[in-house]
Amino acid sequence: MNKTALITGGAKRIGKSMALHLAKNNWNVAIQYNKSKKDVLKLKSEISDYNIKFSAYKFNFESNMKFKDFFKRLNKDFGQINLLINNASVFDFDTIEKSDLKTFNSHINVNLKAPFFLSKYFVKNLSDKEIIINILDQRVKNITPYFTSYTISKCALEALTKSLALYLAPKIRVNGISPGPTIKSKHQTINQFRNQVSKTPLLKKVELNEINNAIDYIIKCKSVTGQVLTIDSGQSLGWANSKSKIFSRD
């Protein structure tokens, strides 16, 4: 019998790549989405090439707190969920001066509260040896003055990852993945993205298959828990910052 993965934010970008990868490897796939209906339909078409069960669930993590009901529906449709990937994320620019309560709460609700409560209901009625993977960001190791609410939420999610790894062991393993520049964000032009990539020590973007390889590693390496795999071409080492005009003596 195929195992089942739940991927939040699974309709596009990194989430879509993970969904297709797991389907290719005979996992049943459930995804959560919010506004990406067209992307869901496209993914459904692509994933139909694989002999697995697939369902998509519309759930707004910013305002809907009915996580228990969500998991009841999942368990009814799929039975046991074996892998939870907390990937859904809000990524909006703010600073301490320019932020507001709505922006702050949006990041906390989606990036932290949702993973917290999804994990809570995921761990109920499990048999053994299940997995939680939280998608973080290289920013948790490379703090900047910008995207303040986002950074806070991801740093808190890293702390949750390690805390749950201790509390849920040995029954459930909990790990994180911190990607670097992989796909251009909505805040960037293509040239800005290329410039960001050019300032990483490895001078390359992160490939989607590398993140999928990290998923495979976490699944297969059963002695790994409480760890964060940073896949960022060295961006978190801060070398780009040392090259910036801020540090220039010219």
Q: Which amino acid is at 22?
A: L
Q: Which residues touch 15 (CB under 8 Å, ≥6 apart)?
A: 7, 8, 9, 31, 85, 87, 88
**Is the confidence at residue 245, as pLDDT, over 50?**
no
The Cβ of residue 105 has, within 10 Å, a number of other Cβ atoms equal to: 15
**Is the confidence at residue 166, as pLDDT, over 80?**
yes
Q: H or E segment at 231?
A: strand 228-231
Name the least confident of 113-117, 122-126, 130-134.
122-126
More confident of the two residues 46 and 129: 46
Average pLDDT over residues 203-215: 98
For helices 148-168 and 114-122, the axis angle rounded to 10 degrees is 20
Confidence of residue 243 (pLDDT cuts 50, 70, 90): very low
Whether residue 174 contacts residue 198, with contact meaning beta carbons closer than 8 Å, is answered with: no
Confidence of residue 128 (pLDDT cuts 50, 70, 90): confident
**Is the confidence at residue 78, as pLDDT, over 60?**
yes
Q: Which residues touch 249 (CB under 8 Å, ≥6 apart)?
A: none
Domains of the chain: 4-244 (3.40.50.720)
pLDDT at 240: 60
Nearest C-alpha neighbor of 27 from the set 10, 57, 4: 4
CA of residue 183 relative to chain centroid, distance: 13
Whether residue 15 contacts residue 33, with contact meaning beta carbons closer than 8 Å, is answered with: no
Give per-residue pLDDT as tens, 225-235. Answer: 999 999 999 99
Whether residue 11 contacts residue 59, with contact meaning beta carbons closer than 8 Å, is answered with: no
Q: What is the pTM of this model?
A: 0.94
Count of helix runs (H) and strand runs (E) in the chain: 9, 7
pLDDT at 246: 33
Please name every residue paired with 6 in a beta bridge, in sequence order, or none if there are none. 30, 84
Portion of the chain with pLDDT greater than 70, in percent: 94
- For the chain, state the CA radius of gyration: 18
